[in-house]
Amino acid sequence: LTYAQVFPWTEESQSLEYNAETFKKSIYSWKNTCGLAAISARNSYQRALHLAPWQANIYIDIAISSNLISSFNQDNTLDKCTWKLPEKLTLGALALEGENSEFWVALSCLSECNALKQHSLIRGLQLDVSLAYAWAYLGKLYREENEKKLARQAFDCARGIDPSLALPWAGMSADAHTGDSTPDDAFESCLRAVEIFPVSVDITFYALPKLAEFQIGLAKLALLSGNLSSSQVFGAIQQAVQRAPHYHESHNLNGLVHEARMQFQAAIASYRLARYAINISLGTVLKSHLKDISTNLARSLSKAGNAIGAVQECEDLKKEGFNYIDIWLLSGMLDAEGLQIYAFSLWQLGENDLALSVTRALAASVSTMDGISAAVSVSFICRLLYYISGPDLAIGSILKMPKEFFHSSKISFIVSAINALDQNNRLESIISSSRYFLASQEEITGMHYLIALSKLIKHGTKHHLGFQNGVNHLRKALHMYPNSMLIRYILILAGNFWNEVWGNSHVSSRCSIVDDSDSKNKEGLKSAWEISSAGAVACHAIGNSEPRFSFPTCSCQCTSSGAMQELQKCLRREPWNHNARYLLILNLLQKAREERFPVNICIVLERLISVALSNEFYSGKEAICQYQKFQIYLCASEILLQRGNIMGCIDQAKNASVLSLPDSFQFFGHLLLCRAYAAEGNLKFSKEEYERCLELKTDFLVGWLCLKLMESQYEEQPASNIFELAFKEGSEGRNNSWNMWMAVYSLGMGLICLWNQDFLSAEEFLEQPCSLTSAESCIFLCHGVASMEIARRYHDSQFLSSAIRSLSKAHITSSVPIPIVSALLAQAEGSTGSRKKWERNLRLEWFSWPPEMRPAELFFQMHLLARQIASESDSSSRVEGWQSPLQWVLRAIHTNPSDLRYWKVLPKLL
């Protein structure tokens, strides 16, 4: 009997390949399997009854199995006034044990007569007033009879006796349709009912309603409360499809859940199965149900890019007689949605005239709609007119519309968005009057966003947006609404794209608020964890944050550890979230780069990348799908390159290079191939990829810098002045950022000269960025190194003074003490004969290093300092006085025993 109850229906083939006949056969096979199991159970119980006819509970078991067989056979031949076999068998049990309260509850569950149901439940409660599920079923009966007060009292009694009973919680959720409870509260109640549904095999299990009904109800409430994409609903509706595949509602709601999760192909398959389920249904099916499923199918086809299929569905609806007026009378606002899908799909196919014709039919009926339907329809009409006819004709049509059409906040947003793109502000009068209908804080902050967008566009120049005006407005709005995630989100985007500021990615983490409850975001907006993790990746591109591996020179950085923790939490909550996995891969790659690609992180990355690339999202042709797939391939290639798997690196880089992306992105795929071939020693192919990069070009200046470094390192033929031109063109219009990018380019050229031992040219290149920027310690450090080497080689005191100035600036401008800087500065000051400055800088060098990373040379330098002050009385208070010169040398030898200088000094100290 349990097998008959829980045996799941499974799809024997891919859903898209199902047709009506194969679906009918699969349902028949499933019902036949369950029915045979129930018949076998009934036969076993009947044999038991022959052996022990005095056992009353056997009658109940036979009644339950007979009722289950009838449900699979859908036997509706008997009317409700005729006694059915399960009812007769239950009466037989009661004839033997009339005082058994559970038998009376079983009679109420197996009977179809409401009067008998009520009598049986009341009789059962008379025998045992603490019978929780009797109260629960009494509440369900009163709910069906629309006796809400009595139903609520009965549910309260059941919940007070046994809070773990599912039915009372499900009964509470039914109040959402009457307005007695909010959709969110109803959803939570039904979710609790689904989670605590009993799994024990006893009489209460057979008497309780089917779990599939609870799960279908949960999905319906999720639709009302906006929780369709949650993992609990997804799991529940999947089980409902397995337990009740013959219900068209289970497939239809499954399609809605897939659609909410952006899985449009799966949604299309589910809607088609829902249609097949309706066709094989033996009961009465309302035309509105078939119309709803067809409308849902058309919408998913349109979202999936299959405009032809969507138009065909709409045409079929028209042929079936579902004209606009009929639909309006049957199902409320879905009428407007159907016409909107039809018009939108025609526009996707380029049939603009037909789309406008359908739009006119929709507009003609707006006056007969309720407020919500009218607002949605007018908003759609305005947007479609803008896309088809352009801004001028769309604005002209909007000005001709009746003023009462704009008495809605939704329409106010659409009109404001169109006006933001109009330099003449022709819709200003309509906007000013429609803004009176903005009621909630969410709507007001959304309007501030549109106002800021308008200022970005209207106060900009030919090639650049007016970021300053938009940012100023958003800052004022944020002061009025500091908790608005929308304003914070837009302010972050505007600040990140605002070219007046260099390296301002850290603003993202300061402005965003990461909250565990921030998991349900509006479509099109980024969540707080997405913003913070993207900012952490950008900050890692500027400088590292972990002193154990390298030393940061960027004064404002995000902390990647917090971002990765939030990404991991999100991925545990939503394992299907491809965006969270993508950002986690990028953050982990930066962590691996910082730690010199340790094996453990590389293994984790390889697993994440393998799972990510198997996601059907990346089979899409949309730009975002291709771009993220491109980045993942590059990450995989980089990991393989660092681990020495050159062939695997080349394969992954080639996979990235064949994706459909602009040349500016493809540049980086070929740049990685250039590196891989060079690492393999195949300079011929490396040169080909180098030349391919020159052909593709890129708008990202860092790409040109990397290519220039490749050119110098592998002795590629210099590409004349293409790099200088690319940097100058790419930096135009960036104001302060122009100085920084040119400084970075000069820094790169200076490093190349340092590698080639051309210190004079290096000093010339590095002097330029020192004059262009005043807060980058790494540039001053490199210039100081070049100047010191020139001074050493040519005994030029002028370069020695220049080195001291640059190294002093590097020390002052660094956010944290950078090792080597103070040591070099001590060496330079010592060369000028300043003993006190030499001592002070050596002490600073000691504190610049983390204790576990101090090199042998630092201990040796401390021995020199200790020897200088050995005669002073207060030397013990200084760091060099903590140990004797001999002990310092011994520590240096222990740290690096291969250096002969330390061994030569040791005998002199013994």
Q: What integer pLDDT is reported at residue 894 of this predicted model?
A: 94
Q: How confident is the model at residue 778 (pLDDT cuts 50, 70, 90)?
A: confident
Q: Which CATH code fits 735-850?
A: 1.25.40.10
Q: Which CATH code fits 211-285?
A: 1.25.40.10
Is 63 within 8 Å of 86 (Cβ atoms)? yes
Is 26 within 8 Å of 12 (Cβ atoms)? yes
Cα distance between residue 538 and residue 70, in whole Å: 64
Q: What integer pLDDT is reported at residue 865 of this predicted model?
A: 85
Is 474 within 8 Å of 454 (Cβ atoms)? no
Please, which contacts does 591-594 make with residues 24 or more away whose CB atoms are closer than 8 Å?
591/560, 591/564, 592/639, 592/642, 593/540, 594/540, 594/544, 594/545, 594/546, 594/549, 594/550
Q: How confident is the model at residue 519 (pLDDT cuts 50, 70, 90)?
A: very low
Cα distance between residue 763 and residue 751, in whole Å: 10
pLDDT reading at 465 higher than 80: no
pLDDT, tens digit (0-9, with 9 covering 90-100), for 412-460: 888 888 988 888 888 888 888 888 888 888 888 888 888 888 887 776 6
Is 686 within 8 Å of 674 (Cβ atoms)? yes
CA 665 to each of CA 431, 661, 672: distance values in angstroms, whole numbers, following the listed order: 41, 6, 12
Q: How confident is the model at residue 327 (pLDDT cuts 50, 70, 90)?
A: very low
Q: CB neighbours (10 Å) of residue 659? A: 17
Q: What integer pLDDT is reported at residue 349 of this predicted model?
A: 92
Cα distance between residue 787 and residue 777, in whole Å: 15
Q: What integer pLDDT is reported at residue 672 of this predicted model?
A: 96
pLDDT, tens digit (0-9, with 9 covering 90-100), for 802-845: 999 999 998 888 877 888 899 999 999 988 888 889 989 998 99
Q: Which helix (H) or strand (E) holds 135?
A: helix 132-144
CATH class (in words) of the domain with range 127-209: mainly alpha
Q: Is the dihedral of CA 527, 532, 533, 535 positive or negative?
A: positive
Amino acid in position 548: R
Cα distance between residue 357 and residue 522, in whole Å: 32
Q: How confident is the model at residue 201 (pLDDT cuts 50, 70, 90)?
A: very low
pLDDT reading at 560 higher than 80: no
Nearest to 697 by CA among 739, 727, 736, 734: 727
Cα distance between residue 289 and residue 274, in whole Å: 10
Cβ neighbours of residue 187 closer than 8 Å, sequence gap 6 or more: 173, 176, 218, 221, 222, 224, 225, 227
Lowest mean pLDDT among 52-56, 76-80, 421-425: 76-80
When the pLDDT of each residue in the chain is averaged and rounded to a whole number, the result is 82
pLDDT, tens digit (0-9, with 9 covering 90-100), for 496-505: 555 444 455 5
pLDDT reading at 708 higher than 70: yes
Cα distance between residue 186 and residue 472, in whole Å: 42
Domain with CATH 1.25.40.10 in the chain: 127-209, 211-285, 735-850
